[in-house]
Structure 1
Amino acid sequence: MSESTPQYPPLPPDNLQRTLTLARPDTDQTLPHIGLVGDTYTITVSGDETNGRFCVIDMHIPPGGGPAPHRHDFEETFILLEGEMEATFRGKKSLVRAGDTINIPANAPHQFHNSSSKPVRLLCICSPAGQEKFFQEVGIPVATRTAAPPKLDKEQQEQFMEKAKALAPKYHTELLKEAY
């Protein structure tokens, strides 16, 4: 009696239309640096470069920064490179330190907050891609990876929030009104 070997389809050929992406967020002037909610997000790998499979965003979060509670229909993985932050997942708070990785499952309510006195740097990987387009559409271009977005007065903050609320459903995101 011979054992059968499972048959797997062969790998497709290399797509020569796709190219290597090399991102240098501190020196590459062509990368988009986006100011959003007081933070600065640099898109290092866009969904256009991965056939929509994922995107990578280099996040600079100053003390006190981080987004409000939200949820979305894609996976989000954070790799903390520098500093420490507080992550809240389904109402439970965790301290995340440099070197740690967390994954937020699709549709789960969450937020992160830099409660320290030093900036935090993290990589955010969204799968599938699309979140980077939301950031580009709602955010404000800034000069560098660590440049602070312009301060918004009360009226500008209200306009920003209205724009974010209007665009969020287009990008499969729900902005939650309060902590969970």
Structure 2
Amino acid sequence: MTQEPAPLPPDDPTRELVVADPDAPGATHIALAGDTYTMLVTGAQTAGRYCLIDMHVPAGGGPPLHRHDFEEMFTVLDGEIEFVFRGTTTTAHAGTTVNIPANAPHHFRNRSAAPARMLCMCTPAGQDEYFERCGDKVGSRTAPPPRLGRDDLDERRRRALDLAPRYATEMLPDDGM
């Protein structure tokens, strides 16, 4: 016996249309792991359903090996990015979309000599908040990270490790990439 689908809930008039321009004045740009991440659509704007982040990844940029309890999808807009997923390496070029299932060990690196750009959607949201709490605000989508001394770098690493469990994230031992 087939059940009738539940009716759609009513519109939520407290939610607003979001139009995001990564280069607009007032956009939030975060330097983290050698990259610059621009918060396009935040969890606060989607009632926690997802977030969308514009990622500028310079040559050699990318986060350490990690995993988290949420889905993550990347669309490469410019350049190429090398993804390591459960130990297997795949190179994604502009126009390619890569989906990382929840809880799978992964990371990415820009192995080319030119900057790369990606969109990253996380569902549910939370990664946007984690990045804002771990990284440093910078002035634009392509701004380099601030020059930090050893003590400041160590403090950022400690902060990321301390906050990771709150954002369902686990940093894993380096796999040599």
What's the TM-score bracket when you normalise by the shorter of the two chains? Answer: over 0.9
Match of 2:146 in 1: 150
Secondary structure at the aligned position of 1:22 is classed as coil
Partner Cα distance (1:108, 1:178) in 2: 15
Name the larger-Rg structure: 1
Match of 2:52 among 50, 56, 77: 56
Q: TM-score, normalised by structure 2?
A: 0.96
- Deviations along 1:36-81, one digit per CA (max 9) or x if unpaired, are 0111000000011111110000000000000010000000000000
Matches within 5 A, 1:1-180: 6-26=3-23, 28-179=24-175
**Share of identical aligned residues, percent?**
51
- Deviations along 1:19-40, one digit per CA (max 9) or x if unpaired, are 10000111x1222100101110
The unaligned stretches of length 5 or more in structure 1 are none
The unaligned stretches of length 5 or more in structure 2 are none
Partner Cα distance (1:124, 1:154) in 2: 29
Deviation larger for 160-169 or 92-101:
160-169
Instruction: Count how many residue pairs are aligned between Structure 1 and Structure 2.
Output: 176
Partner Cα distance (1:123, 1:48) in 2: 18
Secondary structure at the aligned position of 1:167 is classed as helix
Calculate the aligned-residue CA RMSD, in Å.
Answer: 1.3
Partner Cα distance (1:174, 1:167) in 2: 10
- Deviations along 1:139-180, one digit per CA (max 9) or x if unpaired, are 100001110111222222111111111111111100112218
